[in-house]
């Protein structure tokens, strides 16, 4: 489940607390992400995705711009829906690439 962005910032504090209690933490993340970076507090496992950081950033920026753009309710709704669909497509692609990464899935199963 992609937890980048604000979800990750909140989760990182929980993981730090678990680590302090002696738990081993494994974080699985796509190679292209916003905030998830390796630290000494957890083992990091990454997997490839078929999009670039520029594409991901561009989709997020377009979404934010559409949210702030003026217009009628219907115009804004359609633009935001289309932008959100693009962002969601990246998340779905990321999840699919994790599930099809046999070596990583085998590691997690073990």
Cα within 13 Å of Cα(30), Cβ side: 25
Q: Band the pLDDT of 1: cuts 50, 70, 90.
A: low
Per-residue pLDDT tens over the stretch 42-92: 999 999 999 999 999 999 999 999 999 999 999 999 999 999 999 999 999
Domain range summary for the chain, segments of one domain joined by +: 6-109
Q: Band the pLDDT of 3: cuts 50, 70, 90.
A: low
Give Cβ neighbours of residue 1 (< 8 Å, ≥ 6 apart): 95
pLDDT of 2 > 60? The answer is: no
């Amino acid at each position: 489940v992609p937890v980048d962005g604000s979800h990750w910032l909140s989760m990182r504090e929980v993981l730090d607390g678990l680590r302090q209690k002696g738990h081993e933490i494994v974080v699985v993340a796509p190679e292209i992400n916003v905030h998830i970076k390796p630290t000494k507090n957890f083992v990091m496992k990454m997997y490839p995705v078929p999009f670039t950081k520029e594409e991901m950033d561009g989709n997020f920026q377009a979404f934010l711009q559409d949210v702030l753009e003026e217009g009628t309710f219907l115009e804004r709704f359609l633009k935001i829906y289309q932008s959100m669909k693009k962002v969601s497509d990246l998340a779905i692609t990321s999840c699919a690439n994790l599930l099809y990464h046999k070596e990583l899935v085998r590691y997690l199963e073990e």
